[in-house]
Amino acid sequence: MLAKLVPGSVAAAESTSDPAEAALHPAEQDLVRNAVTKRRQEFTTVRWCARRAMEQLGLEPGPVLPGHRGVPQWAPGVVGSMTHCAGYRAAALARTEDLAALGIDAEPNAPLPEGVLESISLPQELGWVRSLGRSHPGISWDRLLFSIKEAVYKTWFPLMRHELDFQDALVTVDPAAGAFRATLLSTGASPAPGAPRHFAGRWASEHGVLVSATWVPARVPAQRSAPRTVLAGSAV
């Protein structure tokens, strides 16, 4: 599913299970030594996906350690993002000569808990969430809005090192094209020169999972061959 959402220069790996061959790098083991089984499994598999993506980029698979605010720390010259939810784990990586930033997010295709939509949405977004809920009932549009804003945040923060609130981005969705656009309204501080104000992306829903992806192109995109996408577990 993820390969259909990201540019061809992105190395993507995803899994719908926690395969037995997924293992932690020694440098990662202490991070979840006392974690419950569910947390340890998702932590392990999503990093296993990240190492598969590293291999696609021709990199030596290494540990993925959290940095400031838990942002994954990638090798020099690499940007990326990881995500997991029930029944799905994924990672996407790209070289900085191709993309300046990249964010992905997966969520269950199920309604948000009561009261959450109102806390994350702008009035314009409430309108399309409710309208699409009537015309396209197979998608939990409130949850998709949450996923898109999470993907935007994952793209913005590693690039700018400045946090966003849910109310700082106005999202519009094209249900037919599986696309979205997010426009930043206010970040609470003057943005750095060249800071992105608009994020285009794509979304998809399969097998009970919603996935969103957005990215910021590099200033001068390089011509590179497309990496191969790896999928473990059942088809997504």
Give me the torsion for CA of 25, 31, 35, 40, rounded to 10°: -30
Per-domain boundaries in the chain: 2-232
pLDDT value, residue 103: 98
pLDDT value, residue 160: 86
For residue 181, give the nearest of 211, 152, 205, 139 by alpha carbon. Answer: 152
Burial (CB count within 10 angstroms: exposed 0-12, middle 13-18, buried 19+), residue 59: middle
Q: Does domain 2-232 have CATH number 3.90.470.20?
A: yes
Q: How many angstroms separate the first and last alpha carbons of the chain?
A: 5
One digit per residue, pLDDT tens: the chain, 236 residues?
999 999 999 999 999 999 999 999 999 999 999 999 999 999 999 999 999 999 999 999 999 999 888 899 999 999 999 999 999 999 999 999 999 999 999 999 999 999 999 999 999 999 999 999 999 999 999 999 999 999 999 999 998 888 889 999 999 999 999 999 999 987 555 556 667 889 999 999 999 999 999 999 997 544 444 454 444 443 33
Task: Please enumerate, as own/partner, the contacts of 17-20 that have beta carbons within 8 Å and a separation of 24 or more.
Answer: 17/45, 17/232, 17/233, 17/234, 18/42, 18/44, 18/45, 18/89, 19/45, 19/48, 19/232, 19/233
Q: Which residues of 184-217 are buried (b: 16+ CB within 10 A; e: fewer)?
A: beebeeeeeeeebeebebbbbbeeebbbbbbbbe
Helix H segments across 64-209? 116-120, 123-135, 141-160
pLDDT value, residue 231: 41
